[in-house]
């Protein structure tokens, strides 16, 4: 009898089963694309006019946009940070002024008023007729700066001493009353020229500059300056010369009173 072959019939089920299908991936991709488009629109709506103009330029002429951008890859950064529009339209993004900028501007204006007030009071007082040429009052980026500069002869302090001259006491009292009306912190600094201190081996320009600054502080605190306003008293000796090219010049010997922008 001839060999009989066994034939197996395999039936495959049609259709896709459960999670093995791919239709959900298509739907998810559409959803993600739609969300991206939505957030892109929201982002564009939130931009200011110069940035909108930049995007409009791109869609109007992409090739021109790329040419301009290739010349200045930092164009985007410049635009957002307040630089010129890289397309030459002269548009500029205005930075939002922060709170500190407002505070500093207000303080600067107040310092200008205080400077004028002190200057007028000094000019109006006959006792200060000799002193006024040795007083410099300026408004700097660090605050209101009042400098008492020594002359060839003793003006504010006795030579080689931290003892204040009587006329300097009256001037410091005037300054103290003006500064005491402000809420700002005060720093008092003492400076000397390069000539070494003579008379004692254990006393140098470091001690002299610090003692003079401290003496000025004591007078001002006794005359209307709130002691809580004084945050630092510094003695620099000859390390911060007013005239570096003339290290022995008498104006290097000085006391500086700095009213800072920060509150006491």
Are residues 164 and 157 in contact, defined by beta-carbon separation less than 8 angstroms?
Answer: yes
Distances (CA, A) of 142 to 32, 139, 262: 52, 8, 10
Distances (CA, A) of 251 to 75, 174, 179, 208, 237: 49, 22, 24, 15, 13
Together in a domain, 131 and 225? yes
Indicate the number of domains in the chain: 2
Together in a domain, 57 and 117? no
Together in a domain, 129 and 256? yes
Secondary structure (3-state) at 249: coil
Together in a domain, 67 and 116? no
Q: How far apart are CA 237 and CA 116, in angstroms?
A: 30
User: What residue numbers bound the domain in which 125 lies?
Assistant: 99-263
pTM of the model: 0.61
In a domain, 202, yes or no: yes
In a domain, 15, yes or no: no
Together in a domain, 72 and 111? no
pLDDT (tens place) for every residue of the chain, 264 residues total = 555 666 666 665 555 555 556 788 888 888 889 888 888 888 877 777 767 777 776 677 666 656 655 555 544 444 444 444 444 444 454 554 554 555 578 888 999 999 999 999 999 999 888 888 999 999 998 999 999 999 988 899 998 899 999 999 999 999 999 999 999 999 999 999 999 888 778 899 999 999 999 999 999 999 999 999 999 999 999 999 999 999 999 999 999 999 998 877
In a domain, 233, yes or no: yes
């Amino acid at each position: 009898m001839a060999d009989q072959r066994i034939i197996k019939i395999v039936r495959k089920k049609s259709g896709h089963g459960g999670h093995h299908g791919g239709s959900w991936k298509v739907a998810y991709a559409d959803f993600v694309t739609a969300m991206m488009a939505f957030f892109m629109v929201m982002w564009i709506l939130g931009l200011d006019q110069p940035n909108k103009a930049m995007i409009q330029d791109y869609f109007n002429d992409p090739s021109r946009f790329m040419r301009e951008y290739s010349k200045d890859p930092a164009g985007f950064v410049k635009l957002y940070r307040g630089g010129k529009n890289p397309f030459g339209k002269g548009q500029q993004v205005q930075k939002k002024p922060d709170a500190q900028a407002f505070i500093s501007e207000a303080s600067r204006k107040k310092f200008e008023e205080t400077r004028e007030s002190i200057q007028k009071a000094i000019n109006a007082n006959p006792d200060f007729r000799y002193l006024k040429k040795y007083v410099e009052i300026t408004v700097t980026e660090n605050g209101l700066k009042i400098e008492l500069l020594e002359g060839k002869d003793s003006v504010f302090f006795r030579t080689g001493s931290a003892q204040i001259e009587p006329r300097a006491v009256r001037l410091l009292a005037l300054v103290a009353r003006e500064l005491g009306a402000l809420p700002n912190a005060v720093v008092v600094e003492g400076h000397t020229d390069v000539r070494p201190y003579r008379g004692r081996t254990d006393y140098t320009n470091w001690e002299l500059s610090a003692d003079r600054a401290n003496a000025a502080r004591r007078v001002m605190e006794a005359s209307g300056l709130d002691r809580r306003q004084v945050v630092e008293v510094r003695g620099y000796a000859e390390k911060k010369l007013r005239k570096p090219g003339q290290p022995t010049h008498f104006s290097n010997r000085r006391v500086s009173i700095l009213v800072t922008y920060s509150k006491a």
